[in-house]
């Protein structure tokens, strides 16, 4: 979309009513890296917030090791939801890694998600992780804030996680960790702290002969990793290939969606604002935010919103740098 | 093979002990187009010209299990082969052709069981004894997953179908080849000779292991089943190596069948193979040169008597431009006839036995191939190597190495990357431009026939037959007889496939887009990356490109190489996969809000698909924002029409330089910003 055109009300209406071209255009605005887009985003969100209140969408994260079959599973869940939940609308945000050499990416999740093109209840969008390491892209949070107003549920499929910290827990109300049988020794998971994140486990490819053993390994290691809820945490056994267990998993997901009252995304803004500051302004920015502005929560509150805080933050950084040393006014980007 | 004492060492002993030349191989021409009626006329004309077997090309709808009036099938009807919707079409296709005298090869895979059932049903309705039928159903799903793309069901179920066909044929059609292990398509997808050998052998081993495991054959029947395994091999331009490959194939097959399966009778251990020579190396530039390439490639599979093919199909000189016209096919057939009847080729025993250079080359190929066979067996065999994407990645890697060698001139392709200046070819100077176009009239005929069949059939019988088919599919009973009953009951191709899709599901394979090496590390790549980075400021995002294959043709490797190249230069690439309707492409492009769609079409349906895509974009109100380029086998005469429809740029096999392609794609996006 063009740079500084005013936001068209009709576009927002259409997006909320399930028009894919309109919603898609708005998503692009929320991924737009130009300065001018910040104000436009603020306007879109202001308009959306002024509309009759609808429940904010539930945010459900799907994460797991590369190759565990996250996309195929989500595709199965999507089809099952379409079949059984005529009223439900949802979006899938699928994030894949970018090349560190070229900056480009290959987003192949759509090959596994085949939904009838005329289906208006589901919206699928691929995103590149750019240089982020935590499994989400730099714009994932912003896009979720938009989608939150337009659908009942947002599924976020992260980049396959390994050792890095999982950002998804700061974004999603519920996180499903997808594992495949014999996905390496469980010590790896304990070490990485990954086992502590999810609210449920999915053991995919359960038609594999080794699946039974893996299930018991997983149960066993949960006792060590999170003794407080090891017995009550669900482990779904399914197979995206044969369809086994998909109905149960989908019921579990539906249960999560139906349980409203999850924290609204506004409560998650400080974390992602800090992250944005780190991306855009580096360590200098983080120092300014913490030392001069009293931390992300306080600054966001004073600024009246995420976009407003983004728009004014650069000024603070420049101010600080100049007051410290007028000869060194570079910022790290 | 042992020479009789009454003939000299340079002669072949005939049945009576006197010197006599060999019988020639079977001459085939891969043919079929438009409609059952038009194809029938073509076959009869070819047979009267001295062709000795039929090789039937089916259209993509038939190959993928859709009726001609299915939305996804409509643009493809009659394009790359004949459309067959029901037994009524088969009656038309074979009218005036005596089945019992015909050797019929059908290039059919995902729906092979169905087409075989139709053939059997046709014989039954004509009162022909099915034991007299000879021919082949290609029916190799492994290579479909790897290279050709007309699979329907997941590997497990596809392999069961193949096994059931062997079990049926051994008793009911003992001279029929239930399947053909195809290495042909692997070479088209970039396979090296070692990969061709090893992947084909591991495929055959997977099949025989399965037949053994199912336990429906006693020891004698199993040996006979081994004897029914035949191969379909490619022959490329490096014709000495190719001949050695054929010799290696023969020797390895003999060893494997003896050692792994204990087959004693040498007759059942013979490596039986048919050939279609290479199309991958045929060029769009200076297309007349292809005639020589085809001739040389034919020599590779005929010169050595001990490794001579049993059937040969030659492509036509203009295959890189369009489907061949009847005259082009006749010209290729004449080549075979000259080779077999004018030359003295068939009078000699093997010319290469004992040649140290040949023996050494063959031994090297055998050793490398067996190493790879061993590796794949250790990975869990052919099914595991498909499902994990191992084989696909290996092929994609070989293909990108080949592209790199052509790009940097290491591999000479005359007229394409060397000696590119030439006089205009009179072969493409005629009114039709040397190209073939089918007429829309035939599509209407096919659709009318389908409607007639549906109206006139006994609906109750058709329903019952489909139910019985599904029941067999679920219970593990053979689906062959139920399929024949479906054929007799005038069930349609789409209905048969839909019934089984309902039980088995549909397969989406590993793409193999990882692990490619493009060889594009140079200044031009760096400059292009900076140009793309520069676009971020203008677009607000890294440029987004959707790569997809609308239509039913499954040759995905070209699209995958483009997708990987685009990432390499800095695009965010949404790869949407193969076998998509135009609507699905449009819907994906809209949801992803891409800047450009790159659609790859090899089936000849580019005009219809371009029209559908542009209309779809207009319906969503994004035609001004999302630009479209096409790539594929697109005749020069259609360029203007595509531009008229709104396609910004068209790439053909003549555009083989990946960096050139990427630069012009970026230019198309830049134009859109201005």
Between residues B14 and A225, which one has the greater pLDDT?
Answer: B14
Q: In a 3-state reduction of DSSP, which class is residue B525?
A: helix
| Inter-CA distances, A55 with A51, A77, A315, B317, Å | 12, 22, 35, 65
User: In chain B, what percentage of residues exceed pLDDT 70?
Assistant: 96
Q: Which of B533, B540, B588 is opposite residue A103, by nearest beta carbon?
A: B533
Report the b/e string of A109-135 with b at 16+ CB within 10 A: bbbbbbbebeeebbbbbbbbbbebebb
**Pairwise CB contact (< 8 Å): B590 & A110:** no
From B650's Cα to the closest Cα of chain A, the distance in A is 22
Q: How confident is the model at residue A79 (pLDDT cuts 50, 70, 90)?
A: very high
Task: Assign B275 a pLDDT band (cuts: 50, 70, 90).
Answer: very high
Say whether pLDDT at B514 is over 70.
no
- Interface A:B, Cβ pairs < 8 A: 104
Task: Specify the pLDDT at position B3.
Answer: 47
ipTM: 0.89
Q: What share of chain B is helix, strand, coil (3-state, %, to 5)?
A: 55, 10, 35
Most confident option among A300-309, B476-485, B513-522: B476-485
Whether the pLDDT of residue A191 is over 80: the answer is no
What is the pLDDT, as a whole number, of residue B520?
62
* Per-residue pLDDT tens over the stretch B210-228: 999 999 999 999 999 999 9
pLDDT computed for residue A325 by the predictor: 57
pLDDT at A187: 46
Distance between CA atoms of residues B139 and B111, nearest Å: 8
Q: Are the CB atoms for B301 and B308 separated by under 8 Å? A: yes
Q: Is the Cβ of B516 closer than 8 Å to some Cβ of chain A?
A: no
State whether B575 and A111 contact (CB < 8 Å).
yes
Structure tokens at B557: 């490797």
Distance to chain A for B596, nearest Cα, Å:
14
A205 — contact with chain B (CB < 8 Å)? no
What is the residue whose two structure tokens read 């306007």?
Answer: A43
Q: How confident is the model at residue B62 (pLDDT cuts 50, 70, 90)?
A: very high
Question: Which residues of chain A have a CB within 8 Å of the CB of B564?
Answer: 106
Interface probe, candidates A8, A25, A73, A102, chain B, greatest B C-beta count within 10 A: A102
Probe site for chain B from A75, A79, A108, A207 (most B CB atoms < 10 A): A108
Contacts of B138 (CB under 8 A, 6+ apart): B105, B106, B107, B108, B109, B112, B179, B180, B182, B232
- Position with higher pLDDT, B502 vs B520: B502
Q: Is the pLDDT of residue B163 over 90?
A: yes
Q: How sure is the predictor about A32, in pLDDT bands with cuts at 50, 70 and 90?
A: very high
pLDDT at residue B347 in the model: 96
Q: Higher confidence at residue B386 or residue B164?
A: B164
Spatial separation of the C-alpha atoms in residues A150 and A19, rounded to whole Å: 10
Pairwise CB contact (< 8 Å): A118 & B575 = no
Write out the two tokens for B56: 């039937």
Phi and psi angles of residue B553, each rounded to the nearest 5 degrees, phi first: -70, 140
For residue B371, the SS3 value is helix
Mutate to test the interface with B, among A103, A130, A333 (most CBs of B within 10 A): A103
For A33-69, letters b (16+ CB in 10 Å) and e give eeeebbebbbebbeebeeeeeeebbbbbbbbbbeebb
The predicted pLDDT at position B634 comes to: 85
Of B540, B572, B581, the CB nearest to A107: B572
Q: Is the pLDDT of residue B550 over 90?
A: no
> How far B364 CA sits from the closest chain A CA (Å)?
36
Q: At B129, is the pLDDT very low, low, confident or very high (cuts 50, 70, 90)?
A: very high
Given a contact cutoff of 8 angstroms between Cβ atoms, the answer to whether B139 and B165 are in contact is yes
For residue range B583-610, list pLDDT tens digits in order: 999 999 999 999 999 999 887 889 999 9
- What confidence score (pLDDT) does residue B513 get? 53
Please answer whether residues A255 and A236 qualify as being in contact, where contact means their C-beta atoms are separated by less than 8 angstroms.
no
What is the pLDDT at residue A190? 52
Task: Work out the mean pLDDT of chain A and round it to a whole number.
Answer: 84
Which chain B residues are within 8 Å of A105, Cβ to Cβ? 567, 572-573
Taking residues A3-16, report their average pLDDT: 78
B254-258, B314-318, B396-400: the lowest-pLDDT one? B396-400
Residue A333: pLDDT over 50 = no
Measure the CA–CA gap between B636 and A83, rounded to whole angstroms: 46
Burial class (CB within 10 angstroms; exposed 0-12, middle 13-18, buried 19+) of A6:
exposed
B contacts of A24 (beta carbons < 8 Å): 590-593
Contact B575 A110 (CB under 8 A): yes
pLDDT for A182 equals 66
Please say whether the beta carbons of B260 and B205 come within 8 A: yes
3-class secondary structure, A153: strand
Q: Provide mean pLDDT across the span A186-192.
A: 52
Predicted pLDDT of residue A280: 85
Contact across the interface for A28 and B541, Cβ inside 8 Å: yes
Residue B621's closest chain A neighbor by CA? A21
Dist CA B508 CA A72 (whole Å): 10
Beta carbons of B533 and A37 less than 8 Å apart: no
What value does the CA radius of gyration of chain A take, rounded to a whole number of Å?
Answer: 21
Within a 13 Å sphere around the CA of A206, how many CA atoms are in the beta-carbon half?
Answer: 19
CB-count burial class (<10 Å; 0-12, 13-18, 19+) for A244: middle
Higher local confidence (pLDDT), A332 or B572 = B572
pLDDT, averaged across chain B: 90
Contact B293, B256 (CB under 8 A): no
Mode of pairing for the β-strands spanning B572-580 and B544-550: parallel
pLDDT over 80 at A19, yes or no: yes
Of A160-164, B286-290, B393-397, B578-582, the poorest mean pLDDT is in A160-164
Chain A residues with CB under 8 Å of B573 CB are 104-107
Residues 66-105 of chain A with CB under 8 A from chain B are 98-99, 102-105
Domains defined along chain A, listed by start: 1-53 (no CATH), 58-259 (3.40.50.300), 265-333 (no CATH)
Note which residues in 524-553 of chain B have CB less than 8 A from chain A: 529, 532-533, 536-537, 540-542
Residue B576 has its nearest CB partner, among A27, A111, A128, at A111
With an 8 Å Cβ cutoff, are A107 and B591 in contact?
no
| Sheet of B596-601, strands arranged across | A105-107, B572-580, B544-550, B596-601, B627-632, B649-651
Q: How confident is the model at residue A163 (pLDDT cuts 50, 70, 90)?
A: very low
CA distance B659 to B665: 10
Contact of B642 with B610, CB cutoff 8 Å: yes
Task: Give the gyration radius of chain B's Cα atoms.
Answer: 25
Evaluate whether A257 touches A89 at the Cβ level (below 8 Å): no
Distance (Å, rounded) from C-alpha B31 to C-alpha B38?
Answer: 11
| Token pair belonging to A10 | 């009709």
Chain B residue whose CA is closest to A110: B576
A64: left (phi over 0), alpha (psi -120 to 50) or beta: left
State the DSSP H helix or E strand holding residue B617, giving kind and residue range, or none if neither. Answer: helix B606-619
So what's the pLDDT on residue A3?
Answer: 44
- Among candidate residues A150, A118, A112, the one with its CA nearest the CA of residue A24: A150
Total residues belonging to chain A = 333
Q: Using the beta-carbon criterion (under 8 Å), do B508 and A28 form an inter-chain contact? A: no
Question: Which residues of chain B neighbour A118 with C-beta distances below 8 Å?
Answer: 583, 587
- Under 8 Å between Cβ of A53 and A65: no
* B149, B511, B540, B571: best to mutate for the A interface, most A CBs within 10 A: B540
Structure tokens given for B546: 């959707």
Q: Cβ of B572 and A118 within 8 Å? A: no
Residues of B with Cβ-Cβ distance to A28 under 8 angstroms: 540-541, 593
Question: Looking at residues B424-451, what average pLDDT do you find?
Answer: 81
Using DSSP's 3-state secondary structure scheme, residue A230 falls into coil
User: Could you report the per-residue pLDDT of B66-89, keeping only the tens digit for each?
Assistant: 999 988 888 888 888 899 999 999
Q: Which residue, among A73, A126, A146, A147, would best test binding to B if mutated, counting the most B CBs under 10 Å from its CB? A: A126
Share of chain A above pLDDT 70, in %: 88
Cβ of B591 within 8 Å of Cβ of A31? The answer is no
Q: Does B264 touch chain A (CB under 8 A)?
A: no
Query: Other C-beta atoms within 10 Å of B367: how many?
Result: 11
The answer to whether the CB of B563 falls within 8 A of the CB of B513 is: yes
Q: Identify the residue whose tokens are 């002990």.
A: B17
What part of B 597-656 touches A (C-beta under 8 Å)?
Answer: 620-622
pLDDT confidence band for A161 (50 / 70 / 90): low
pLDDT of res. B674: 66
C-alpha B606/C-alpha B641 separation (Å) is 10
Instruction: Answer whether A138's CB lies under 8 Å from A130's CB.
Output: yes
Token pair listed for B594: 């891409």
pLDDT at position A329:
44
Nearest CA in chain A to B574: A107
Looking at the predicted structure, is the pLDDT value of residue A38 above 80? yes
Residue B61 has pLDDT above 60, yes or no: yes
Q: How far is CA A290 from CA A296, A317, B98, B324, B630, in A?
A: 7, 12, 89, 72, 52
Share of chain A residues as helix, strand and coil, in percent rounded to the nearest 5: 50, 15, 40
What local confidence, expressed as pLDDT, does residue A167 receive?
82
Taking CA atoms, A219 is separated from A73, A212, A215, B59, B69, in Å, by 21, 11, 6, 52, 52
Q: How far apart are CA B599 and CA B550, in angstroms?
A: 7
- Give the global pTM: 0.75
Taking residues B229-240, report their average pLDDT: 95
Give the ranges where A151-245 is alpha helix by DSSP (H). 168-171, 186-192, 211-225
Which of B522, B543, B591, B592 is the best residue to mutate to test the A interface, defined by the most A CB atoms within 10 Å of its own CB? Answer: B591
> Nearest to residue B587, comparing CAs of A88, A70, A113, A62?
A113
Band of pLDDT at residue A26, cut at 50, 70 and 90: very high
Per the CB < 8 Å rule, is A106 touching B542? no
Percent of chain A with pLDDT over 90: 37
Name the pLDDT band for B174 (thresholds 50, 70, 90): very high
Better-scored residue on pLDDT, A195 or A258? A258
Digit-coded pLDDT (tens) for B369-420: 999 999 999 989 999 888 877 888 888 788 878 888 888 889 999 998 899 8
Average pLDDT over residues B325-349: 93
Instruction: State the average pLDDT over residues A145-154.
Output: 93
Mutate to test the interface with A, among B574, B589, B596 (most CBs of A within 10 A): B574
CB proximity A57 to B under 8 Å: no
Return the sign of the alpha-carbon dihedral for residues B560, B562, B568, B574: negative
A32 touches chain B (CB under 8 A): yes
Is the CB of residue B577 less than 8 Å away from at least one CB of chain A?
A: yes
Q: Does the beta-carbon distance from B513 to A108 stay under 8 Å?
A: yes
Question: Distance between CA A239 and CA A221 in Å, rounded?
Answer: 22
């Amino acid at each position: 979309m063009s740079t500084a055109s005013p936001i068209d009300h009709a576009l927002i209406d259409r997006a909320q009513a399930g028009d894919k071209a309109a919603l898609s255009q708005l998503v692009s605005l929320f991924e737009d890296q130009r300065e001018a887009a910040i104000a436009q985003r603020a306007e879109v969100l202001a308009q959306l917030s002024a509309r009759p209140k609808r429940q904010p969408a539930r945010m459900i994260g799907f994460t797991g090791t590369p190759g565990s079959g996250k996309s195929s599973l989500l595709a199965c869940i999507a089809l099952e939801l379409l079949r059984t939940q005529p009223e439900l609308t949802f979006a899938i945000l699928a994030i894949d890694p970018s090349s560190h050499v070229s900056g480009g990416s290959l987003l192949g999740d759509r090959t596994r998600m085949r939904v009838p093109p005329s289906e208006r209840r589901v919206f699928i969008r691929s995103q590149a992780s750019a240089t982020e390491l935590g499994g989400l892209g730099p714009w994932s949070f912003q896009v979720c804030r938009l989608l939150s107003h337009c659908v009942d549920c947002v599924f976020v499929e992260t980049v396959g996680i390994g050792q890095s910290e999982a950002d998804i827990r700061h974004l999603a109300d519920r996180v499903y960790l997808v594992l495949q049988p014999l996905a390496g020794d469980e010590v790896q998971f304990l070490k990485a702290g990954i086992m502590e994140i999810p609210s449920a486990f999915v053991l995919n490819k359960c038609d594999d002969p080794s699946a039974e053993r893996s299930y018991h390994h997983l149960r066993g290691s949960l006792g060590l990793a999170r003794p407080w809820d090891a017995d009550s945490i669900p482990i779904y056994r399914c197979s995206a290939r044969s369809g086994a267990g998909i109905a149960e998993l989908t019921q579990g997901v539906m249960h999560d969606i139906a349980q409203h009252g999850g924290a609204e995304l506004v409560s998650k803004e400080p974390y992602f604002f800090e992250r944005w500051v780190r991306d855009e302004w580096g360590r200098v920015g983080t120092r300014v935010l913490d030392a001069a502005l009293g931390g992300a929560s306080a600054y966001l509150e004073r600024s009246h919103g995420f976009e407003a805080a983004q728009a004014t933050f650069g000024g603070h950084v420049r101010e600080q740098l100049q007051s410290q040393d007028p000869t060194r006014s570079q910022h790290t980007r | 093979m042992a020479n009789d004492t009454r003939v000299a060492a340079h002669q072949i002993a005939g049945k009576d002990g006197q010197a006599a030349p060999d019988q020639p191989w079977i001459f085939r021409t891969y043919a079929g187009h438009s409609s059952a009626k038009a194809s029938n006329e073509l076959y009869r004309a070819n047979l009267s010209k001295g062709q000795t077997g039929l090789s039937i090309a089916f259209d993509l709808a038939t190959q993928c299990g859709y009726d001609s009036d299915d939305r996804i099938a409509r643009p493809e009807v009659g394009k790359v082969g004949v459309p067959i919707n029901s037994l009524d079409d088969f009656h038309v296709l074979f009218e005036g052709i005596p089945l019992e005298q015909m050797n019929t090869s059908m290039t059919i895979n995902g729906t092979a069981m169905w087409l075989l059932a139709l053939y059997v049903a046709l014989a039954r309705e004509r009162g022909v004894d099915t034991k007299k039928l000879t021919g082949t159903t290609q029916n190799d799903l492994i290579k479909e997953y790897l290279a050709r793309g007309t699979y329907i069901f997941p590997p497990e179920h596809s392999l069961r179908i193949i096994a059931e066909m062997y079990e049926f044929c051994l008793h009911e059609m003992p001279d029929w080849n239930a399947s053909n292990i195809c290495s042909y398509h692997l070479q088209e997808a970039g396979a090296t000779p070692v990969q061709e050998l090893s992947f084909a052998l591991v495929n055959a081993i997977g099949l025989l292991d399965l037949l053994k495991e199912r336990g429906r054959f006693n020891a004698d029947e199993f040996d006979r089943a081994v004897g029914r395994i035949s191969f379909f091999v490619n022959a490329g331009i490096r014709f000495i190596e190719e001949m050695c490959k054929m010799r290696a194939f023969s020797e390895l097959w003999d060893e494997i069948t003896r050692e792994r399966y204990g087959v004693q009778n040498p007759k059942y251990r013979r490596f039986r193979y048919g050939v279609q020579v290479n199309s991958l190396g045929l060029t769009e530039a200076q297309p007349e040169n292809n005639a020589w390439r085809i001739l040389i490639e034919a020599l590779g599979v005929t010169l050595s008597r001990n490794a001579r093919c049993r059937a040969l199909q030659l492509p036509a000189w203009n295959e890189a431009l369009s489907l061949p016209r009847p005259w082009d096919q006749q010209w290729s057939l004449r080549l075979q006839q000259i080779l077999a009847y004018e030359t003295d080729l068939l009078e000699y025993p093997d010319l290469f036995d004992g040649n140290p250079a040949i023996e050494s080359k063959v031994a090297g190929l055998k050793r490398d191939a067996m190493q790879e066979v061993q590796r794949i067996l250790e990975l869990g065999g052919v099914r595991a190597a498909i499902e994990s994407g191992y084989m696909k990645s290996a092929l994609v890697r070989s293909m990108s190495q080949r592209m790199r060698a052509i790009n940097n001139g290491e591999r000479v392709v005359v007229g394409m990357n060397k000696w590119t200046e030439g006089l205009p070819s009179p072969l493409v100077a005629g009114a039709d431009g040397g190209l073939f176009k089918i007429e829309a009239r035939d599509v209407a005929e096919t659709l009318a026939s389908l409607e007639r069949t549906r109206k006139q059939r006994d609906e109750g019988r058709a329903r019952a037959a489909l139910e019985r088919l599904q029941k067999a599919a679920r219970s593990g009973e053979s689906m062959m007889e139920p399929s024949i009953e479906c054929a007799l009951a005038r069930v349609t191709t789409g209905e048969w496939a839909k019934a089984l899709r309902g039980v088995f599901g549909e397969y989406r394979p590993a793409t193999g887009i990882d692990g490619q090496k493009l060889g594009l590390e140079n200044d031009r790549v760096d400059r292009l990356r900076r140009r793309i980075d520069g676009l971020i400021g203008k677009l607000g995002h890294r440029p987004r490109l959707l790569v997809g294959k609308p239509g039913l043709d499954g040759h995905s490797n070209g699209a995958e190489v483009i997708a990987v190249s685009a990432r390499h230069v800095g695009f965010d690439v949404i790869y949407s996969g193969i076998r998509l309707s135009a609507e699905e492409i449009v819907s994906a492009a809209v949801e992803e809000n891409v800047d450009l769609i790159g659609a790859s079409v090899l089936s000849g349906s580019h005009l219809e698909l371009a029209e559908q895509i542009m209309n779809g974009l207009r319906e969503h109100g994004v035609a001004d924002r999302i630009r479209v380029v096409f790539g594929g086998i697109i005749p020069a005469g259609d360029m203007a029409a595509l531009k008229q429809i709104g396609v910004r740029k068209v790439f053909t096999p003549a555009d083989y330089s990946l960096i050139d392609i990427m630069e012009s794609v970026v230019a198309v996006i830049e134009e859109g910003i201005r």
